[in-house]
Amino acid sequence: MPLPKTGMKNLWYRLSCWRFSQHQQLLHKARYRTLSICVIACVAYVGIAVRLIDVMVVRTPDCTSGCQQQECQMRQNIIDRNGVILATQLVTASVYANPKVIINAKEAALKLSELFPHLTYKKILNKLESESGFIWIERHVSPKMQQAVHSLGIPGVYLMNDSKRVYPHGSLACHVIGRCDIDGVGISGIEAAFDTFLNTQPTELRLSLDIRVQHVVRDELAAAIANFQAIAGNVMVMDVQTGEIIAMVSLPEYDLNRPMKSMELGFNRNTLGVYEQGSTFKILNAAIALETGVATENSIFDATNPVKIGHFPVTDFKGQNRPLTLAEALIYSSNIAAIKISQKFGLRVQKQYMEIFGVLKPIHLEISELGSPMIPRDWREVAMMTISYGYGISVTPLHTLVAIAGVVNDGYRPTPTLKFVSPQNRNERIKSFRNNPCVSKKTSTTIRKILRKVVMHGTATANVVGYHVFGKTGTAYQIVGKGGYGSDANRKRTTSFIGGFSANNPRYVLILMLDNPKPTTGTYGYATAGWNAKPTAGKIIERIAPLLGVEPDFNEEEEDADTMQLTKLSQIND
């Protein structure tokens, strides 16, 4: 369009164009400002949404890692040899909080302390006022308490799926199974030894234990401790052919489902405690003599007079004061004869065979609670003499059980295990023990024959009708004070019995120990093993033999002439 020619019109036209330009600029600015406000609002809304997602879903980096660690992971069951559940996982819930979301920490702490009285208000408040994004309030709450937490309606307090380790049998087999911490991590026993397996493998962990036998053993041991006023006690039962531990009981005990009140309750006397074994070691002493050929079953050893070790006279408890055969030396449990037997083969041979028997080194088992033997620094004549009758060397009951199991098992010393040996692997495992026998089959047979005589005689024996039980007692004085054994008035003793059934074809062996039993009216003032450990072992064998499927043998045994001449022993076996 052509420009107006007159001056006024031209001026008006220019003014209109200027006004139009100003209007366009204002519209542009308004649009820009509106767009900027929209962008800022969108960014703000996105930021708020991200924060809400972070708080409500992702929570915080701290909370995320905490929650990932507490996913409801199903730890595998532990079962006994017959499939009975010993440890399992229970799905539950736990209460946690995110302090960054808590609106009123004091109010929330007050409500939670009223709901959980054992948690103090101050303790909860300190947690809720922390900078953490994840804190535990209470683990493993009941369904009723879960509903109560929901009803509180506290923002920032939540429930999480969790799992808890549960032990259906409570304290039974507690020292074998072991326990987990509150997060389900194994910290002792089988739970610790197989922690990775239980968390990663798709199958249950099957142990060699028979919970039926475990119950019987615990029942009889607890009764003996109460009856003889002992401080503690322990028993193990082993399949002598495969080395499977069928039962392992150590008293006192603790409930696996409750916090341990004292660390002493978790002490496994069978595998961790080391003790002088007393007269049960005379079995090894006799086995060495027979195996090396320095004596036979009928060799004579003079037990008429005490033997002096330095200024200390070694005597026999209720001694016969006459020459004894090697068999009689075990039957009458003669310390004097034991020393003279050891002098026949000497200290070098004794140490060599103790190594073969496996009592000089730590013994392998799946759990970590294992004690190491205490052996003489200088294996000299004095050490040889005291070791011959069970002093001067301290080992765990597991050492003794395995060593003597080898002696009576045709010389084949088994490797102990707490894992179930399947029928398919049984023969292969038995063959693996036969590469290095500790004694010959002949020696083993002779030892079983003698130990059978030990059990058959006495007023309160370990003999069981239908089962040819064999074994040996031991009574060892405990070291008190600064190294001595104390006087007659304050002496403490450990009594024990080790043996098995049946003598002709042994299948199971057991060891039983009582810590400082007291005399009772029924023991006529005696507190030696023949009066407490020996009959207790008999009661255990009588109950467990049928459970283990061992068929009785009611055939009468033919006794040797020397056995017939033995007088009935009034529990002189120590």
**What pLDDT score does 69 carry?**
44
Crossing angle between the packed helical segments 441-456 and 282-292, to the nearest 10 degrees: 140
What's the rounded Cα separation, in Å, for the pair 285 and 447?
Answer: 11
**Same-domain status, 174 and 285:** no
Residues β-bridged to residue 163: 91
Residue length, the chain?
Answer: 574
**Same-domain status, 321 and 383:** yes
* Residue 234 falls inside a structural domain: yes
What's the rounded Cα separation, in Å, for the pair 260 and 174?
Answer: 11
Domain boundary among 206, 233, 268: 206
**CATH value at residue 94:** 3.90.1310.10
**Same-domain status, 148 and 219:** no
What's the rounded Cα separation, in Å, for the pair 152 and 164?
Answer: 24
Q: What is the three-state SS of 415-441?
A: CCECECCCHHHHHHHHHHHHHCCCCCH
**Same-domain status, 194 and 241:** no
**Same-domain status, 161 and 202:** yes
What's the rounded Cα separation, in Å, for the pair 297 and 21?
Answer: 131
**CATH value at residue 257:** 3.40.710.10
**What pLDDT score does 569 carry?**
46
**Same-domain status, 194 and 245:** no
* Residue 388 falls inside a structural domain: yes
Domain boundary among 177, 206, 235: 206
**What pLDDT score does 473 carry?**
95
**Same-domain status, 500 and 551:** yes
**Same-domain status, 380 and 498:** yes
What's the rounded Cα separation, in Å, for the pair 60 and 96?
Answer: 14
**What pLDDT score does 436 carry?**
85
Q: What is the mean pLDDT of each run of 10 residues along the chain (574 residues)?
A: 55 60 67 77 75 55 43 83 97 94 95 94 94 94 94 94 95 97 95 97 97 98 97 98 98 95 94 97 98 97 94 90 96 96 97 98 96 95 96 97 97 97 95 92 97 78 88 93 72 95 94 96 88 96 96 67 46 56
* Residue 336 falls inside a structural domain: yes
Q: Is the dihedral of CA 109, 113, 116, 122 positive or negative?
A: positive
* Residue 8 falls inside a structural domain: no
What's the rounded Cα separation, in Å, for the pair 404 and 358?
Answer: 10
* Residue 278 falls inside a structural domain: yes
* Residue 483 falls inside a structural domain: yes
**What pLDDT score does 19 carry?**
60
What is the per-residue DSSP string for 19-52? HHHHHHHHHHHHHHHHHHHHHHHHHHHHHHHHHH
* Residue 38 falls inside a structural domain: no
**What pLDDT score does 159 carry?**
95
Task: List the domain range (segments joined by +) for residue 319.
Answer: 214-564
**Same-domain status, 277 and 181:** no
**What pLDDT score does 226 carry?**
97
Q: State the total domains in the chain.
A: 2
**Same-domain status, 335 and 428:** yes
**Same-domain status, 417 and 437:** yes
* Residue 14 falls inside a structural domain: no
Note whether 391 and 423 are within 8 A (CB). Answer: no
What is the signed CA dihedral for 422, 427, 429, 435, rounded to 10 degrees? 180
Domain boundary among 206, 223, 245: 206
Residues β-bridged to residue 513: 234, 496
**Same-domain status, 225 and 199:** no
